[in-house]
Amino acid sequence: MTSTQRPKNDLAWLVLWCALLGVTAYHMVWQTHKVAAFNSNAFDLAEWVSLHPTVRAENPALFTPMLLRLPLILLAGIMAVASSTLQAEKAKWVWHGVALLVVLRLNPPTDFYPWGGGSPNDQQLGRLTVLGLGVILMLIIGGRWLQYFWKPTTLILLIAGLITALEGYNRAQKVLDSIQIETGIGGGLVLYIVFLLSPLAVILISSTRPFLLKTSVRTAT
């Protein structure tokens, strides 16, 4: 392995593990309540607020639950993009499989199949699943070319993962406040933010360092 390949792979592994930890944090408690049974992770919070009439009347429909569910697709996309840079084919395909499994977490109840039936909530889950699988498969197929600009692509996905999660959480809390349910921020949300900010910061630093070195050299000469 060349000296240029190793740093790229080290950074890719950091991104991959942080994305996987982000999925774990997604399923930890995001919303705390004095009654333990009402503690919710992001997925359950999306399900919970989807039942509220105000959320069902949103335009686009069920926008708040969609924001809370999109991070799973974005995290899977991060895995697919970062794994495209790995040298070991076996590791690459293992992470491709993990990315597809993450998207399948959105798989709706059987009422959605075969013709997109079920409740509006089931329909959103089904459409997001189809969308997510399509996006991940496209990223896997295009991995050969994607590896040349994987850093900016990963940055976009990381930022989108943070924005959708935080905006979805904020909107969900407004719904809960409107029905006077007092909740707090759970550790899962805090960890989710940390796991996405960490690789984002490292990518930015690693990308700007060569530019800063060139600038310092020019200044010195």
Cα–Cα nearest to 27, from 197, 186, 155, 194 = 186
Span 22-64, pLDDT tens digits? 999 999 999 988 877 678 999 999 999 999 999 998 988 899 9
The DSSP string of 133-157 is HHHHHHHHHTHHHHGGGHHHHHHHH
Give the three-class secondary structure for 58.
Answer: coil
Within 10 A of 2 (CB to CB), how many other CB atoms are there?
A: 7
Span 123-179, pLDDT tens digits? 999 999 999 999 999 999 988 888 888 999 999 999 999 999 999 999 999 998 888
pLDDT band of residue 8 (cuts 50, 70, 90) is: low
Distance CA 165, CA 146 (A): 25
Mean pLDDT of the chain: 89
Span 113-124, pLDDT tens digits? 888 888 999 999
Radius of gyration of the chain (CA): 20
pLDDT score, position 218: 53
Cα 44 off chain centre by: 16
Is it the case that residue 6 has pLDDT exceeding 60? no
Task: Provide the token pair at 136.
Answer: 């991940």
Peptide linkage before 60 cis (omega within 30 of 0): yes
| Total-model pTM | 0.89
Cα–Cα nearest to 192, from 176, 168, 172 = 168
Which distant-in-sequence residues (6+ apart) come within 8 Å of 157 by Cβ?
A: 74, 77, 78, 81
Which structural domain range is residue 81 located in? 5-220
Give the three-class secondary structure for 182.
Answer: coil
- Catalogue the E-assigned strands of the chain: 31-32, 184-185
Distance CA 116, CA 123 (A): 6
Question: CB of 78 within 8 A of CB of 161?
Answer: yes
For 100, which DSSP code? Answer: H
Number of structural domains (the chain) is 1
